[in-house]
Every structure is written in structure tokens, then in C-alpha cells.
Amino acid sequence: MEQIGTYIATITTAAVEERLRALAPLGLAIALFLADIESSNDVSLLLTMLEQAIVSIAATGRSLALNQLREIASALENYHCRACRLYCIYEGGLWQSALPCTLSAFNVYCTSNWAHSDMPIGTCTHIVDAFVEVLQTVLVGAIVSATSLVFLPTWGTIDGDLWIREIAYNCQLVYKGTRELGDAIASHYWVLVLPDRFIDALVQGEALDVSMFPQHQLNPCLTLQTSLSKCLHWCRQGVLQEQDTLSVLFWKPELSRTIGCMKTRSGTGGQLQWHNCSYISATYCGIITGIDGVVRLSAQELDSAFALRLQVSLRQAIGGVLQDAFQTGRSTIGVHRHLRYPLSFCDILGVPALSLLNSHGIEARTYSDHLCDWTEAPRGIEVIVKHT
């Protein structure tokens, strides 16, 4: 542990070259430490140290070049995710993280702190910033690879979300803003996946009727993965149709849209302008409530935005989820609204009830404590729907 502390001190305070050189030995030291732990208390100590380092980098990282900042932040958040997963195994519950959701957006093994308008940025924002730099030389209408926007989580020996990288490989740039950002814009990005016609209306500054959506609101997320999952959830709710083709919009919201005044920590009533699901970090999403039933982005928000045609239908995206869920020949990943989670963790305290999808993208079987079925029929075979 002392050696880990030394490496973390180097990463947070030393010269840039020394910080980058310390990342690999820190990963090795953490792997050796986790291989020899005796209780969740050891993991808790490591997680506390990592979270202090992540907060430090988020607060001071703007002095680094974007690629350096992204490399450091990605490594620390990966180490944090790995330790949280092991904590779940030992403790039987999610790690209660002190990090804001932008600093743990890729980590489904922990709960996240409440969101607020001045959240420090994390890897999810660095990834988009790096992509935006590339877009400055790309003309609207061009085909681009957006695979750098995809973060691939690892479920044990199973790689999830590979299908999203396939989708992102061949996108068309349909809009990019002027990048003239005002002081009233948040530092993080919101991400929204919707049918082409909806995204086209938003980037043209038109009023979009959202009265057909639950609660008359849109729910942008922090990552492409979660946003696409949320879009599929709207399809399962009957709001969107399987034949719709999809686009994605990234933008920095105005601070007035990201107000996070807490009502109750238990979740009753949620927050003023921020929504969360089961307090798992990867499930956080924003709320854009339609005024008189419509939503419109401001000029400042459009200046920060870019939009891509994903060039796949909702039907094809549903097939991608099933492909990942059954890639080993048996069910491995379940869904809950805009969250996908390893079924092997469905009995972990804090993980919501998970479902599998049948070949039509409908939630077909619910998994909860002691109900895991490791012999689920692969895609293409009918699944019996259980009503609860």
C-alpha cells in the first residue's frame, strides 16, 4: 500500500513525464495488492486513495495537454472500476463512492454522489473533447469514425458494448457548432440518442414536441453507451418505433438546465433538474422538461454541439444488445432502463432488478436475488414472458 501511495503522489504532483511513467507501475502495484487482500476493508482503503487522486486530477488537470489528461484520467478511473468490482464480490454491495457522476460515469460497480452544475470533469468529457478537436478539420456531411467516443467496460473475461464500437465506426457528421462558448455553459457534455428527425429539429433550433415521452421530458446522459440504452428503453415503452434510424447529439448544457438542488437523499422526489436510477453512477441522466410540451436548445448550447448519424435503426441496435448479451452462448448481461449490467452481479445489494430482452427487444425475464438462470436460450429462440 505504501508503494501505491508513492505512485499516486507522483501522478498527482510530479512533472508530466513522471506522471505518465508512473501509470503502468501503479497498475501493477494495484493488481498485486488486490491479489493478496483479505477483506473488503483493504479494498476500501485503496478506493479512498484512488478517489482522492481522481478529484485532484479533475481539479488541476487543465494545466495538462488534453491527450495527457485523458491518459491519466482514464487509467485512474479504470483502476477505480476494477477495485469497485472486487469490492462488490467481497461485500455483496455497491461501493458508496464520494465521486460526482462525471468522475465515475463508466463505473457501474459503485453509487455516485449527487450531481450538480459545477461538477469536475472526468474521462467521459476528455473523450468528447479529444473528438471535438478532430472535428475541426472535418466538413459537415463527411463520414467519420467515432469509435474514440466508446468506452468498453469489461465484465470479468467478457467485453461488453462491442456492438457500439461497430456502430460508431461509420458515422456521418451532420452538424457542428462554432465553439464560441459562453460563461453560462457547463464543463461536461450531455448526450442524446434519438431518431434522425428529432436530432435534426434540435440542431436547427426548432421546437421539438416531447409530449409523447414519459413525463413530457428528454433524458440526456453522460456517455454514448447509456444514451443509446435510454433510447432503446423508450422503444420498449412504445414511444419510438423499431424502424426509426438513429442520430446522436453531444452538447454542453446551460448551467440553468443542470441545477441539482437535493430534495431527499432517499430518492423520494429526486432532484430539481437531475434524475438518477438506483444511484448507480452509470445510470445518471439529465432532465429537459418541455415548456408547453416542447424543448428547444439555446444558441449557446448549439454553439457547443455536434451531431452524428449513427446510420443504424432501433431494430439493429436491439440486435446489438442481444449479441452482447449472448456472445458466449448463454446469457451474461441484463438490462434495466438505461443500464446494462452483468447478470453475475444481479444479487449484489443495490443492483436493480435486471431483465433479458427477447428477439423483439422486449424485456422478457426478470432476474433478481437467487433467480439467475445460466442456461438462458440464445437469441432466436422464443423466451417465455413472466408476468410479476
Residues 141 and 272 occupy one common structural domain: yes
Report yes or no on 332 lying in a domain: no
Tens-digit pLDDT profile for residues 171-213: 999 999 988 877 788 888 999 999 999 999 999 999 999 989 9
Assess whether 237 and 293 both reside in one domain. Answer: yes
Angle at the Cα of 112 (from 187 to 289), degrees rounded to 5? 60
81 with 167, same domain? Answer: no
What's the whole-number mean pLDDT along residues 116-126? 84
Is 129 found in the same domain as 278?
yes
Q: Name which of 14-18, 37-41, 259-263, 305-309 the model is least confident about.
A: 259-263
Q: What is the pLDDT of residue 138?
A: 93
Kindly report, residue by residue over 326-342, the tens digit of the pLDDT. Answer: 776 677 788 887 788 88
Rounded to the nearest integer, the mean pLDDT of the chain is: 83
The bridge status of strand 306-313 relative to strand 285-286 is: unpaired
CA atoms of 38 and 291, how far apart (whole Å)? 54
**136 and 267 both lie in a single domain:** yes
The residue type of 352 is: P
| 38 in any annotated domain | yes
> How many structural domains does the chain have?
2
Q: Are residues 138 and 212 in the same domain?
A: yes
Considering the domain architecture, whether residues 53 and 141 belong to the same structural domain is answered as: no
pLDDT tops 80 at residue 359: no
> Where does the pLDDT of residue 261 fall: very low under 50, low under 70, confident under 90, or very high at 90 and above?
low
Alpha carbon distance 118, 140 (integer Å): 31
319 falls in which pLDDT band (50, 70, 90)?
Answer: confident
| pLDDT higher than threshold 70 for residue 305 | yes
Query: 261: buried, middle or exposed (CB in 10 Å: 19+, 13-18, 0-12)?
Result: exposed
- Residue pair 135/173 in contact (Cβ under 8 Å)? The answer is yes
Residue 212: count other Cβ atoms within 10 Å of its Cβ.
12
- Out of 259, 288, 316, a domain closes at 316
Predicted local confidence at residue 158, as pLDDT: 55
pLDDT surpassing 50 at residue 369? no
Q: Are 78 and 154 in contact (CB under 8 A)?
A: no
By CB neighbour count within 10 A (0-12 exposed, 13-18 middle, 19+ buried), where does 305 fall? buried
- Nearest-angstrom CA–CA distance, 242 and 260: 34
Residue 161 in any domain: the answer is: yes
Q: Are residues 180 and 294 in the same domain?
A: yes
Is residue 57 a part of any domain in this protein?
yes
Pick the more confident residue, 378 or 349: 349
Buried b (16+ CB within 10 A) or exposed e, 322-350: bebbbbeeebbbbbbbbbbbbbbbbebeb
Mean per-residue pLDDT, 56-74:
89
What is the mean predicted confidence (pLDDT) over 112-118?
75
Residue 141 pLDDT:
93
Confirm whether 108 is domain-assigned: no
Residue 214 and residue 153 share a domain: yes
Q: Is residue 103, in this structure, part of any structural domain at all? A: no
Long-range contacts of 340-347 (CB under 8 A, 24+ apart): 340/160, 340/161, 340/225, 340/229, 341/108, 342/155, 342/156, 342/158, 342/160, 343/367, 343/372, 344/155, 344/156, 344/372, 345/88, 345/109, 346/371, 346/372, 347/92, 347/372
Question: Given this model, what pLDDT does residue 25 score?
Answer: 95
Query: 69, 92, 115: which is the final residue of a domain?
Result: 92
Residue 138 forms part of a structural domain: yes
Residues 135 and 21 in one domain: no
Does any domain span residue 232?
yes
pLDDT (tens digit per residue) in 212-253:
998 888 889 999 988 998 999 899 888 999 999 999 999 999
Range of the domain at 216: 123-316
Q: Helix, strand, coil % (nearest 5) of the chain? A: 40, 20, 40
Do 302 and 194 reside in the same domain of the chain?
yes
Same domain for 165 and 294, yes or no, is yes
**Facing residues of 294 across strands?**
209, 291
Which pLDDT band holds residue 289 (cuts at 50, 70, 90)?
A: confident
